[in-house]
Amino acid sequence: MGVQCADRSARGYHARLLPGGLGVNDQVPDAGGEDKAGPGWLRDLLKSSYFARLTDSLGNWVLAPVIGLIAGALLLFGGLFLGLAWQFGVQPIVDAHRYAPYTASAQGRIVESWAAIEFDPAELPRDKLYWQAVSHVSRCVRVEYATGPNATLLQRGYCGMRLGFSADFRLHDWSEVLQEGIPFTFARDASGFEVQEVRIDKRTLDWISTHPPNDTFMLSKPAPETALAALREQFNWPVEIAALSWTTAVPSFPLRHDPIHPELAMPERVVVDSSRWSPWGLLIAVILGVPGFRIWRVGIGMFLEGKVPPRVIWIITLGSMIGLPWWSHAMPTLLRHVNANWAAISQGMIDDVTRTTRVIAAAPGELPLEHGERLLWRMGEGEYAQTFGRIQFRQPTPMPRTPEAVLAALREQATTQVRAMPAAEQAVLFRTLSENASNDRKRDLDVFTHAAEAIERDAGGDAAAQAAARHFLLFAAGYNVWDVDAMEAARSAPSKD
């Protein structure tokens, strides 16, 4: 009895201690709330497959860029090592075998030539205008040749090195070759000047025709309103193009071909170089290929982790090796699905590696942008139509050997024709030259300085023409005032006779 009372007293004591007045046989609510249903449904949700899929999706969404960045880097460097291994170790062996039957020679002539500019507006960030920075340019030719005196004329096309384009790129600064030892030139006009030609696709033409230039700081005034107008100004260098044209003869195009398949002719330099294979290339292939394959395998594994079984990853890794000969074209496309930035970097690195060896051969009609939109730069058109375009230039015989000799010939011909103009036309010409100079169109001024000097010294010259010539010499050509005054003094000085 006493024990029972003590027990009841203890229970009463504990009842007073427990929260909510509960006894020791009563259930205490879970921490965090008084309602058992709350944490119950939350625990069920956390254990559900829906929540697992949701967290996996969120995790993939957060980690996908990081995984893509890392996997892209691994694929980039692994692919680069493998590509170099093929380029220096295996490709020379393949080329030596391929071109061994090319024993016959032929002399071709360039019948068509252009610079192919490749631009994809989708690669340009939204609201950005620097389209040149994401573009590439390469030179292409179509060559006509015969394999014998009475043989049918054949044609074959070739494209050479692929370079990054830019707002500072000038076609006349580019050596007159597709690759070292493989000639190139643009078509020539009646004056012997090159008619530079660029080909682009319709999408590029539409874009540069409807967007303003990225920067007009170094361009003429008023500034070009479209990127197309800026591109036309970018390549319009009359004196420099004249110097290149008149010092470089139109070259022949040496070819080699298989007597059985003359339609597959290749530039002679390519065939000759293929016979210079060195076994050291195989050592380079091993040094680069082994780590390259390992890095490539890790990159593919990271990209496909958990999506396919390991054996499938190995099959994909080994299967991709079959495409090594075409990786220079395929790898940037593959990386673009992983990380766009790594794809752009890989394309630039491949272009650098193959810059001195890249030669694409194709049947007529199959070259890059062969049927693209044509943009021509004829001398004397555009900003300088009323100045340089007024003179009928003729290439001297024999050809000048230096740019300085070309400028001297241009000045001589310009002086002769300007002096033969009516006085009113002379005045208009020099006023136009001065106006062009004030608007940063100065690329042909040097051609007319001797003509202006001749007008200034002419004792029987027209006053208006002489005033225009004086203004041109002082404010456009940058002559010192005392030199121009000396010309006028000589004009008015009495004859010693």
- One digit per residue, the tens of pLDDT, for the chain of length 497 reads 444 444 444 344 344 433 444 444 444 444 444 444 455 655 565 556 655 555 555 445 445 566 666 777 787 788 888 888 888 888 888 899 999 999 999 999 999 999 999 999 988 988 899 999 999 999 999 999 999 888 889 999 999 988 889 999 999 988 888 988 999 999 999 999 999 999 999 999 999 999 999 999 889 999 999 999 999 999 999 999 999 999 999 999 999 999 999 999 999 999 999 988 777 888 888 898 899 999 988 888 887 776 778 888 888 888 888 877 776 666 676 666 666 666 677 677 767 666 667 899 999 999 999 999 999 999 989 999 999 999 999 999 999 999 999 999 999 999 999 999 999 999 999 999 999 999 999 999 999 999 999 999 999 999 999 999 999 999 999 999 999 999 998 876 655 54
Contacts of 338 (CB under 8 A, 6+ apart): 68, 71, 72, 75, 303
In a domain, 141, yes or no: yes
In a domain, 388, yes or no: yes
Q: Do residues 468 and 425 make contact, with C-beta atoms less than 8 angstroms apart?
A: no
Q: Which domain holds residue 451?
A: 382-492
In a domain, 20, yes or no: no
Cα–chain-centroid distance for residue 48? 53
252 and 114 share a domain?
Answer: yes
Cα–chain-centroid distance for residue 416? 42
Q: Domain boundary at 209, 229, 256, which?
A: 256
Q: Domain boundary at 256, 274, 306, which?
A: 256
In a domain, 99, yes or no: no
Tokens 């002086």 appear where? 415
Amino acid in the structure at residue 321: M
252 and 390 share a domain?
Answer: no
In a domain, 410, yes or no: yes
pTM, rounded to two decimals? 0.77
If one counts the domains in the chain, the total is 2
In a domain, 49, yes or no: no
Q: Domain boundary at 198, 229, 256, which?
A: 256
In a domain, 17, yes or no: no
In a domain, 58, yes or no: no
**Residue 289: other Cβ atoms inside 10 A:** 22
Q: What is the token pair recorded at 234? A: 């970018």
- Give residue 11's pLDDT: 42
